[in-house]
Amino acid sequence: MMNKTWDNKVVLISGGLGDIALATALAFGKEGAKIALADIIDVGEHKKKAEVLNRESIDFIYSQVDISQPSAVAGWVEKVDATWGRMDVAIMNAASLQQNSVERISVDEWQLSMNINLNGAFYMARQAAVYMKSRQLKGNLIFMGSWAAHAVHPAIPAYSVAKAGIRMLCQCMALEFASDGIRVNEIAPGYVNAGLSKEVWKADPALADEARARVPVGLLITPEEVAANIIWICNDNNRNLTGSTLVVDGGLSLLRP
């Protein structure tokens, strides 16, 4: 049997039942990786969404984790360690979107956005980095960012601010853990045909056409494209790539009023 690039490596993905997470799990899994998915959804409810991994005989485990709770994140990492005894890639993918202007957003909405989009990513990334360092594993941390980190989105200020924080967190961690052989990078997609956007565009194709028309290259991004970009970042050929942001938005962020 031909060796696969990610044979026996372990990949952790938060927000693990989303379209991007499952596409990424499938991409790594087909290359031999073992996948640890975590999401807030109850264990009993995950089976239908994860069926795509079962069909491809991907070796994976699922854990119900509230990423905004440090103890829950630590428990998840302990479970992965007990199962496979290593960790090679951690993808901070869990996200929450609150649509409200700065004037109208409630304190609870603001805190929810920060707790999941920024704090949760920090808890997971730090736990993963400390784990890798303690076992001298040369791994990869990938933050799921957004072009909203550098282009103002008036309707989603909390999300935008959290993603901007992710960018600096990525750079801080990249510098701190570089000498340990742990690379830390961010991928920042634009309009991805996934999650809530996918449902909206499916229900009203005209809205999808409008979104597509706003993108300079005229295309929406697929979850599979994002997954391919993540795998590329993690490739050993990119050993000098750290603290970087890969903006994959079809040129959206090049536009300015």
Task: Please give the pLDDT value at position 176.
Answer: 98
Residues of the chain with confidence (pLDDT) below 70: 1-3, 43-46, 256-257
Sign of CA dihedral 79, 116, 12, 178: negative
pTM of the model: 0.94
User: Between β-strands 34-39 and 245-248, what pairing exists: parallel, antiparallel or unpaired?
Assistant: unpaired
H/E stretch holding 223 reads helix 223-234
The fold of the 10-191+222-248 domain, in CATH, is Rossmann fold (3.40.50)
Q: How far is CA 234 from CA 101, 118, 256, in A?
A: 36, 22, 31
As a whole number, the mean pLDDT across the chain is 92
In contact, 142 and 90? CB cutoff 8 Å = yes
- Give the model's pLDDT for residue 52: 84
Q: Note the residue count of the chain.
A: 257
Task: Please name the residues in contact with 66: beta carbons below 8 A apart, sequence gap of 6 or more.
Answer: 40, 72
pLDDT value for 144:
95
State residue 3's pLDDT score: 65
Please give the Cα distance from 125 to 119 (Å, whole number).
10
Tokens linked to 147: 């072009």
Query: Cα separation of 253 and 81, whole Å?
Result: 39
